[in-house]
Structure 1
Amino acid sequence: MDAILDAAARILERKGLDALTTNAVAALAGVSIGSLYQYFPGKAAILAELIRRERLILLTGIDRIAHAPGDSLKDDVCSLIRIAVAHQLLRPALARALEYAEATLPLGPETGKLTNEIVRYVATLLERHGVSKVMEAAHDLVALAKGMIDAAGIAGESDQRVLVDRVCRAALGYLEYPGSIRQGFA
């Protein structure tokens, strides 16, 4: 199963979504088409499982930060952003292809669940630092970071450091802005 998913990821990175066929995946994975169909009934199932695998990688990184908080809100927020940016830009062609594929697959409930898990992690960190309206702030920060990071990936940006800096400044500016969720941070 891993060989099939790895082969699919390589095809997506090298040739794009249109080149992804079950025959191409089986050939690159070194398995028969019959073996592939034992695990995956078709291209959509391969894509869905690849999306799930990438999501798990992202959640694992976020979970590490949530269970080992830093000394300040700034440290925690920027650590989460570094993980999200690294995940997006580590394999940018794969990330772009999977984001496009995700929109065509019936993964809405799973996507909602993932977003809710990430929001809960962010809310836990914000609460530790005395942020008020924790759930509202967590939803806003997740949306802000996702929007900026996805747009950068689509635009082909590759400098993680620059992107992390921009997203951190936006997120921390949101938290610090007078009249917003929290006036000032530690």
Structure 2
Amino acid sequence: MVATQSPIDARKRPRQARSAATVEAIVEAAARVLEAGGLAAFNTNAVAEKAGVSVGSLYQYFPAKEALLAELIRRKRAELMTMIEREKAQARGRDLPSVLNGFIRAAVSHQLERPRLAGSLEYAEAMLPIDTETEALKRMIVAAVAEILSLHGIAKPETAARDLAALTRGMVDAAGLFGETDMSSLEPRVRRAVYGYLGIRK
């Protein structure tokens, strides 16, 4: 049986610098189209025009607009995990609030660095068949937080990590839904909630 191409996967990966530059231009154009008009304005013609390439060139790499959305989601998630893993790697020798602050900053930045893009991708996630990837991401985040909580002697670290991840995600998503763009306002509010859950006086 011949494997069929999934509409949410890139058709091919660039091997040369010129091709890689074309793909980057297409992906950034996709982000800008979403920021400007949301999902209602998002289609391959608009992305190709914004990127300055033909629709045929776009289709060489992405078989459908869903593949572009999936690529954007995967890149945003990879950026988030890179920030979380960096904080975890630097955790030893730091107090718990300092490490938690780094995790919170990563979560807030993930949502508010490009808030219109993040908002559109939130809706796109529900439309795409990426539930398995979503669950894997949640498990990785919880595992990273639980490891730090355990290191600092927090009881039931996995349960606490799940609760803190849900609490943070809820507050950050709500901020995005209501159009917040001020990271310096949201971060301290999330910190107060996280510290309160853990009984940290700071």
Instruction: Name the TM tier (shorter chain).
Output: over 0.9
Give, in whole Å, the separation in 2 of the partners of 1:31 and 1:116. Answer: 38
**In the TM superposition, what whole-angstrom CA distance separates every residue of 1:10-67 from its partner, at most 9, and x where no partner exists?**
0111111111110111111111111111111111111011100111111111111000
Question: Which residue is equivalent to 1:42?
Answer: 64
Structure 1 Cα separation of the partners of residues 183 and 71 of structure 2:
26
Root mean square deviation of aligned Cα? 1.3
Match of 2:46 in 1: 24
TM-score w.r.t. length of structure 2: 0.85
Matched, 1:55 2:112: no
Note if contact 1:85-1:160 (Cα within 8 Å) is conserved in structure 2: yes
Q: Distance in 1 between matches of 2:131 and 2:160?
A: 23
Query: Which residue, 69, 87, 91 being the options, matches 2:114?
Result: 91
Could you list the runs of 4 or more consecutive aligned residues of structure 1 that deviate by over 3 angstroms after TM superposition?
A: none
Indicate whether 1:3 and 2:25 are aligned. Answer: yes
Rounded to whole Å, the distance in 1 between the matches of 2:78 and 2:53 is 25
1:8–1:25 contact (8 Å) kept in structure 2: yes
Question: In structure 2, what is the Cα distance between the partners aligned to 1:121 and 1:185?
Answer: 23
User: Are 2:190 and 1:162 equivalent residues in the alignment?
Assistant: no
**Alignment partner of 1:144 is 2:167:** yes
Distance 2:55 2:48 in 1: 6
Match of 1:82 in 2: 105
In 2, Cα distance between equivalents of 1:116 and 1:150: 18
- The residue that corresponds to 1:106 in the other structure is 129
**Distance in 2 (alpha carbons) for counterparts of 1:10 and 1:175:** 39
- Counting aligned pairs with the same residue, the percent is 54
Question: Partners in 2 of 1:127 and 1:185 — Cα distance?
Answer: 19
Partner of 2:16: none
TM-score normalised according to structure 1 size: 0.92
Q: Does the CA-based 8 Å contact 1:47-1:101 persist in structure 2?
A: yes
Q: Give unmatched runs, 5+ long, in structure 1.
A: 177-183
- Deviation string, structure 1 residues 118-153 (Cα, Å, up to 9, x no partner): 111111111111111111011110000000000001
How many residues align structurally?
179
CA distance in 1, matches of 2:71, 2:127: 14
